[in-house]
Structure 1
Amino acid sequence: MKGALSWPFLRLYILVLFYFSANAILNVLIPLQGKEWGASNTAIGLVMGAYLFTTMFFRPWAGRIIQKHGPIKVLRIILVLNGIALAIYAVSGLGGYVLARILQGVSTAFFSMALQIGIIDALPEKDRSQGISLYSLFSYIPGILGPLAAVAIWQEGMDSFGWVMIGIAVVTGIVGYSAKMESGEAEEQSGNTERGHVLASFGQLVKNPFLFKCSVLMLASSIVFGAFTTFIPLYALQLDGGSAGVFLMMQAATVVLARFTLRKHVPSDGKWHPVFVMGTFLLLALSAQSVSFSSTGGAAYFYAAAIGIGVAQALIYPTLTTYLTFVLPKADRNVLLGLFIATADLGVSMGGVIMGPIADLTSYSKMYMVCAGLGVMMVGFSYWGRNENV
């Protein structure tokens, strides 16, 4: 096999699979255990949000540092930090979880940027969308069985939790230290590392119309994804026939299947495709509304939404990311991509932090109705700038 499916890239995707296995368990276990300890939805949202809020903050610096030192050197340091974070979960309570989530956020900022920059730099333009889609696909594969494993760990009293986290850290480190990446832009890393400052790049979120458009769409969709990740484990407890493990397994399996089968259909021509994007956000809105309605309509709407949200997740991120790899200025592409991905992190974090108080004041059903409204707004926003093609 060649291109994005060649063996060197498959090794990187396997590393991604192991790295994100811990989160597939933690995303279910932290809300369940937090509620068991008496935490409110707001507190649970803050603990969950600490992870990607930290990731968001460090991503732009990650892009600059990786551009200067290369992805493989940064990757090996980050794997050690990730191991420390996972070990903290094994010996702490909810307060320690906050520290562990912050350390995980730092390591994920550098890990994901190192992998994605390495993939983008090494693949030809025609294969970029496939490489990004496959990276995202392997990051979701752990979500197929991870939620069920988390529920089992929680029901058994958390006795095996610490050993599972440590085991994942060790395996990830072993696989990561054997990984190799070749960059096609090494000469640019030495010539442009001091061009501007990271803080100055934040202004491009508003000044650059392509980056602004994609960042708004990514932020909004990620808020909805964050609300699903954080509160589905708790909402499912209120539904007859509702299972968070089954829902999240179906969602992750749909993401994996859709990203693999539809990877060649993700636009990779540098042009904006408004109908494609609008349809994807309409599916996102309908899925959120279906979850909201499941409180009265039954579990069928609940599980149907898992499939819809999975397809939306499979398409939104690689579509917007691939588009930006073509339209962003090449000299600052790594840092600006870091800013864009940071909006995804911020959105997922906000999905827990903002939607938690809404759920406390109203209900989970009404909170997901708010998410559906946000998705509808983005359907209209997707049409803006439809003629901005390169």
Structure 2
Amino acid sequence: MNGAMSLPFLRLYLLVLLYFSANAILNVIIPLQGGALGANNTTIGLIMGAYLFTTMFFRPWAGQIIQKHGPIKVLRIILIMNGFALLLYTVTGLGGYLVARMLQGVSTAFFSMALQIGIIDALPEKDRSQGISLYSLFSYIPGIIGPLVALGMWQGGMSSFAFGMIAIALVTGVVGYTAKMDKPQTQPSAEDTDQHVNMFHSFGQLVKNPHLFTCSVLMLVGSIVFGAITVFIPLYAVQMENGNAGIYLMLMAVTVVISRFTLRKRIPSDGKWHSKFMMGTMLLLALGAQCVSYSIIGGVVFFYVGAVLLGVAQAILYPTLTTYLSFVLPPLNRNVLLGLFIAMADLGVSLGGIVMGPIADIFSYSTMYQICAILAMVMILFSMERRKILVR
């Protein structure tokens, strides 16, 4: 095998799988533990959202630092921080969870940027979409069994949870320290980077660059929906007859994994804007959120159909937008601008917990997911309108 499926890249994907396995467990344990301790949806959303809200702020600097020092050096330092954050979950309560989520946020900003920049730089253009899709796929594989493992830990006591976090921290560290990544053949020197790339100027590109603006808005809204699903499904499922959060999250994760593997060659990798493709993706997102909203009345069939639709949408959205930007962003500050784009994904997931939590408190989970569906429908129109600017 060669390209995106070669042995060095498979080792990197294994590292991604191990790194994100902790989150698949924490996404279930933290809301359940918070509910057991009497925390409301706003508090739970704040703790869950702190993870990617912190990641959002560090993404752009992560891209710049990795460009200057290389992904491997940064990766090894970050794995130590991530290990400390996972250990913190085992000895603290909700207050400590907030600190641990923030530490994880910093770690993930650098970890994911290091892996994705390394993949983009090392692969030829025709294989970029496959590499990004496989990275995304392996980051989501833990979601297949993670929720069920988490429910087992919850029912068996928090001692098994502590043991699991320690084991994940150790194994991830060992695999990460043995990982290797080829250097790109052409890369700007640190002197050139310092001279030409201005961080604050790059922030302005979120609005000024039409490609970055379009992708960031779509990713932001899509991530709000995914964030609301991740944070509140464990609590929403309890209100539903025969609803099971573990089965829902597992089904959604299986759909993401299968879709990303089977569709990886169909994701555009030509640097062109495919408006109809994106409109179809946002339609799947809207239908999935609407099914989840209606399931409180319609039953668990709509609940699980929503998981499948959202899984397909999530499998397509991120790799498509990331691959497109890897072609159209200026090479000199591409890493920083990609960091800003991924920061919008982080912000969206955070807002899915922080903003949608109070909405669920005031109204209901069903109403909150209805609002998510409306936001996705607006993005269909947005995708259609932006083709006038982006199609070349």
**TM-score, structure 1 as length reference:** 0.99
Q: CA deviation at 1:186?
A: 5.2
Residue in 1 that maps onto 2:183: 183
Residue in 2 that maps onto 1:334: 335
Q: Aligned residues, how many?
A: 390
Residue in 2 that maps onto 1:385: 386
Q: Give the counterpart letter for 1:255 in structure 2.
A: V
Q: CA deviation at 1:158?
A: 1.4
CA–CA distance in 2 between the matches of 1:187 and 1:276? 32
Residue in 2 that maps onto 1:119: 119
Residue in 2 that maps onto 1:310: 311
Q: CA deviation at 1:200?
A: 2.3
Q: Give the counterpart letter for 1:225 in structure 2.
A: F
Residue in 1 that maps onto 2:269: 268
CA–CA distance in 2 between the matches of 1:343 and 1:312? 17
- Which runs of 5 or more residues in structure 2 are unaligned? none
Residue in 2 that maps onto 1:65: 65
CA–CA distance in 2 between the matches of 1:185 and 1:213? 30
Identical pairs, percent: 69
Q: Give the counterpart letter for 2:133 in structure 1.
A: S
Residue in 2 that maps onto 1:41: 41
The 3-state SS of whatever aligns with 2:344 is helix
CA–CA distance in 2 between the matches of 1:185 and 1:220? 36
What pairs up with 1:82-97 in 2 under 5 angstroms?
82-97=82-97
Residue in 1 that maps onto 2:244: 243
The 3-state SS of whatever aligns with 2:64 is helix
Q: Give the counterpart letter for 2:89 in structure 1.
A: Y
The 3-state SS of whatever aligns with 2:188 is helix
Residue in 1 that maps onto 2:347: 346
The 3-state SS of whatever aligns with 1:22 is helix
Could you list the runs of 4 or more consecutive aligned residues of structure 1 that deviate by over 4 angstroms after TM superposition?
A: none
Q: CA deviation at 1:168?
A: 0.1
Residue in 2 that maps onto 1:209: 210
Q: CA deviation at 1:185?
A: 4.6
CA–CA distance in 1 between the matches of 2:56 and 2:179? 25
Q: Give the counterpart letter for 2:279 in structure 1.
A: M
Query: Residue by residue, what CA displacement relative to the aligned partner does 1:60-112 show, whole Å, maximum 9, x if unpaired?
Result: 00000000000000000000000000000000000000000000000000000
**TM-score, structure 2 as length reference:** 0.98
Q: Say which is worse superposed, 183-192 or 241-250, in terms of deviation.
A: 183-192
Q: CA deviation at 1:196?
A: 3.0
What pairs up with 1:19-34 in 2 under 5 angstroms?
19-34=19-34
CA–CA distance in 1 between the matches of 2:13 and 2:218? 26
CA–CA distance in 1 between the matches of 2:342 and 2:199? 14
Q: Say which is worse superposed, 186-195 or 59-68, in terms of deviation.
A: 186-195
CA–CA distance in 2 between the matches of 1:82 and 1:18? 12
CA–CA distance in 1 between the matches of 2:148 and 2:187? 46
Residue in 2 that maps onto 1:74: 74
CA–CA distance in 2 between the matches of 1:300 and 1:112? 35
Could you say what the CA RMSD is over the residues aligned between the two structures, in angstroms? 0.9
Query: Residue by residue, what CA displacement relative to the aligned partner does 1:208-227 show, whole Å, maximum 9, x if unpaired?
Result: 00000000000000000000
